[in-house]
Amino acid sequence: MNFNITTESISNIKSDLEIIIVHDKDLKHTFVQDKKLLKKAGFTGTQDEVCHLIEKNRLYVGTETLKGVGVRSAAASALRSLLGKKAYKTVKIATYLSHPRCSASLRAMVEGLVLGSYTFNNYKSTKVKSPVKNVEISLDGYNTHELSMETAARAVHNGEISANATNFTRDIVNTTPDDCYPEIMANIAQELAENSTLKCKVLKPKALKKEKMETLLAVARASRHKPRVIHLAHKPKNAKAVVTLVGKGLTYDSGGLSLKPADYMVTMKSDKSGGSAVLGIMKAISEMNLPIEVHGFIGAVENMIGGDAYKPDDVLTAKNGKTIEIRNTDAEGRLVLADVLCYAQQEVKADYLFDFATLTGACVVGVGHYTSGVMGNADEPKDLVVKMATQAGELATKLDFNRHLKKTIKSEIADVCNISNTRYGGAITAGQFLSEFIDEEHKEKWAHIDIAGPAFVEHAWAENPHGASGAGVRMMIRLIEKLVRTAQSH
């Protein structure tokens, strides 16, 4: 999809279709040319409501707010309604600004257009794609707010990169486990590095053994697909800060010997969403060439069953020397993350450390399908994640640690148990388990982001399609951009 920004009046731009975002349910705005037809069609302008007046070549879509969260979702709904309609190759749209000289709504609109055009057709014999190839954006907007061409171009550029990185992540998550296993994830990372300024290092089993990553190796050992730990690095000159990202890349999770019920095993290709998000974030950071040093670490593993599978009652030793009693082999993601977190801290001394994981069903129970749970030892990194998630159009909330729940992962025979002895507070106890593998230097710099809810949902919602959403990508891009602005202001 190509974007062109112009100062031409929207009425003077030639296109196959005009998209009009309506933010007044009474349809009083002068730019709504088809009030009678819209009322006749029952269009009321509610959020994401679409009305396509084919004979007029105009598509109306409603939003409850001109802030990014509303405009992004509305733009996505408009593009989603055009999927498979081959007549509309060029569309035009005006700018909608919520505040003077604020480009956030424009960026959100571009993100929505790209995200709404997403399809995953790899396994369909008949492909349905977005017909839209070119988007003409008029800066002659519908309100008195104005943007300079430079500010608008930057908003469109960053919005396009951010949304494309999200769609890139969606593709990886949606790919089936037979087509995306640890070696393939490593290949994707290496290809990213070959086509960018990123540096890539991949650790194979012998190197993992040498690094004493025994908990990760235990999870992987019943699979025919050997594990990989991936390290991507963006290292600009005169970096303003250093950020480390760690992603859980379970390319498939059967539950191991603690086998999942059949209906819970379906969609477990999505257990690589954390690692896939790290790949998407690194892609975007490289393309934006942000002056922040960013390292992405991914533990790519498949958790299967077999005669060599690790077992409940095993005691494993993590990279930092802590011993772990295994009471459930389906609590495997935290074992992989334990070793990768230790390795990441060994390799990089960061100002911020964030991990992404579809870690617990308990997080989905607690906060729903659409919200990420944010945990950690200190408020500053957690608050930063929640704030930037909101700006990016993602939902995130803090889940605070407490000393009483931490007692529930105590083991009588090892340093820590991989599951809690209570069925309650499972997202938090999983986060507290991970805190056992955060060293003193990073203790106050770390936040764990449980994306189990929003990463993969089997229906469309807001700007997200059925399946993978790319959760975590846009929020972390915004967070790193925020670190750049903060550094430049000092």
Tens digit of each residue's pLDDT (9 = 90 or more) over 287-308:
999 999 999 999 999 999 999 9
Instruction: Reply yes or no on whether the pLDDT at 171 is more than 70.
Output: yes
Look at the alpha carbons of 284, 289, 292, 297 in this order and tell me if their dihedral is positive or negative: positive
Band of pLDDT at residue 227, cut at 50, 70 and 90: very high
Is the CB of residue 177 less than 8 Å from the CB of residue 269? yes
Query: pLDDT at position 81, please?
Result: 97
- Which domains can be identified in the chain, with CATH numbers? 2-141 (3.40.220.10), 168-489 (3.40.630.10)
Contacts of 351 (CB under 8 A, 6+ apart): 241, 242, 243, 445
Instruction: Reply yes or no on whether the pLDDT at 25 is more than 90.
Output: no
Tell me 428's DSSP state.
Answer: H
| Residue 131 one-letter amino acid | P
Task: Identify the burial level of 310 via C-beta atoms within 10 angstroms of its C-beta, where 0-12 means exposed, 13-18 middle and 19 or more buried.
Answer: buried
Query: pLDDT at position 24, please?
Result: 74
Contacts of 189 (CB under 8 A, 6+ apart): 200, 202, 230, 232, 279, 298
Mean pLDDT of the 118-127 span: 96
Instruction: Reply yes or no on whether the pLDDT at 113 is more than 90.
Output: yes
Cα dihedral 118, 122, 123, 128, rounded to 10, equals 50
Query: pLDDT at position 29, please?
Result: 72
Band of pLDDT at residue 145, cut at 50, 70 and 90: low
Band of pLDDT at residue 415, cut at 50, 70 and 90: very high
Query: pLDDT at position 146, please?
Result: 78
Band of pLDDT at residue 98, cut at 50, 70 and 90: confident
Query: pLDDT at position 168, please?
Result: 98
Mean pLDDT of the 224-251 span: 97
pTM for the whole structure? 0.97
Mean pLDDT of the 255-271 span: 97
Instruction: Reply yes or no on whether the pLDDT at 26 is more than 90.
Output: no
Distance of CA 413 to the CA centre of its chain: 38
Query: pLDDT at position 30, please?
Result: 63
Angle at 219 between CA 310 and CA 471, to 5 degrees: 145
Instruction: Reply yes or no on whether the pLDDT at 490 is more than 80.
Output: no
Question: What is the C-alpha separation between 406 and 403, in angstroms, rounded?
Answer: 5
Helices H, strands E: what count in the chain? Answer: 15, 19
Half-sphere exposure of 421 (CA within 13 A, CB side): 12
Mean pLDDT of the 309-319 span: 98
Tens digit of each residue's pLDDT (9 = 90 or more) over 441-469:
999 999 999 999 999 999 999 999 999 99
Q: Catalytic site residues?
A: 260, 334
Is the CB of residue 118 less than 8 Å from the CB of residue 87? no
- Please name which of 245, 175, 189, 168 lies closest in space to residue 449, comparing C-alpha atoms: 245
Tens digit of each residue's pLDDT (9 = 90 or more) over 333-381:
999 999 999 999 999 999 999 999 999 999 999 999 999 999 999 999 9
Instruction: Reply yes or no on whether the pLDDT at 130 is more than 90.
Output: yes
Tens digit of each residue's pLDDT (9 = 90 or more) over 32-76:
889 999 999 999 999 999 999 999 999 999 999 999 999 999 999
Radius of gyration of the chain (CA): 23
Query: pLDDT at position 99, please?
Result: 77
- What's the whole-number average pLDDT of the chain? 96
Mean pLDDT of the 233-252 span: 97
Query: pLDDT at position 97, please?
Result: 82
Q: How many residues does the chain have?
A: 490
